[in-house]
């Protein structure tokens, strides 16, 4: 188990990595980095445009470069993209440089949360449930292997989910090392 002061959030699309990640960063007094937003900031265009111009391979290359850069920074909370775990180098960086929290969610929850979201290029398909299931089949074993802590997904507010994450992280962290610095303690 890695009780690093870096927190890395992984999980499927719609798990709440950005929303919950922001709250965790605030709680622990860490700067928040959303990997997809950083890709957009560095490219000057949205993720869809990156996919249109460079394809998924180009996007993944940019994602890996930025994950490497940001995961080297001490004291950061990094919310990865759902597919960032697909690259072996990314998995190695996450495992070696931080404490990895897997936000779990069900396909039903993803469909509900992403119902009006049309910004995600990998979900621009006629059969979203089938695509989400295929992604889960491929990625869940990777999430499971990489995670220092798995946080079960439940219905409820972002605030409630964030508090549940904080409680689980603190409890888990206390078993392996002193708790991380708390900004709001």
> How far is it, in rounded angstroms, from Cα 80 to Cα 37?
10
Residue 14 marked in a binding site: yes
Cβ–Cβ under 8 Å, residues 111 and 12: no
Strands 149-151 and 99-103: parallel
Please check if 46 is assigned to a binding site. no
Q: Per the annotation, does 97 bind a ligand?
A: no
Is 5 annotated as contributing to ligand binding? Answer: no
Task: Determine if residue 15 is labeled as part of a ligand binding site.
Answer: yes
* 16 annotated binding-site participant: yes
**139 annotated as a binding-site residue:** yes
**Residue 11 is assigned to a ligand binding site:** no
Partners of 137 in the β-ladder = none
DSSP string over 70-90: HHTSSS-EEE--TTGGGSHHH
Query: What is the Cβ-side half-sphere exposure of residue 165, based on CA atoms within 13 angstroms?
Result: 33
Question: Binding site: which residues?
Answer: 14-19, 36, 60, 120, 139
Question: Binding site for ATP: which residues?
Answer: 14-19, 120
Question: Binding site for Mg(2+): which residues?
Answer: 18
Question: Binding site for substrate: which residues?
Answer: 36, 60, 139
């Amino acid at each position: 188990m890695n009780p690093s002061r870096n927190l890395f959030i992984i999980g499927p699309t719609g798990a709440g990595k950005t929303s919950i990640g922001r709250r965790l960063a605030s709680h622990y007094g860490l700067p928040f980095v959303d990997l997809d937003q950083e890709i957009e900031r560095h490219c000057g265009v949205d993720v869809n445009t990156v996919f249109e111009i460079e394809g998924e391979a180009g996007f993944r290359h940019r994602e890996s470069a930025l994950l490497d850069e940001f995961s080297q920074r001490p004291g950061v909370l990094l919310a990865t993209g759902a597919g960032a775990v697909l690259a072996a180098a990314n998995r190695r960086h996450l495992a070696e440089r931080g404490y990895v929290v897997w936000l779990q969610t069900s396909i039903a929850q993803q469909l509900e949360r992403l119902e009006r979201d049309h910004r995600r290029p990998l979900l621009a398909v006629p059969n979203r449930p089938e695509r989400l299931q295929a992604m889960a089949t491929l990625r869940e074993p990777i999430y499971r292997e990489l995670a220092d802590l798995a946080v079960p997904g439940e219905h409820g507010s972002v605030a409630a989910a964030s508090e549940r994450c904080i409680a689980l992280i603190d409890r888990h962290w206390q078993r392996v090392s002193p708790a991380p610095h708390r900004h709001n303690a």
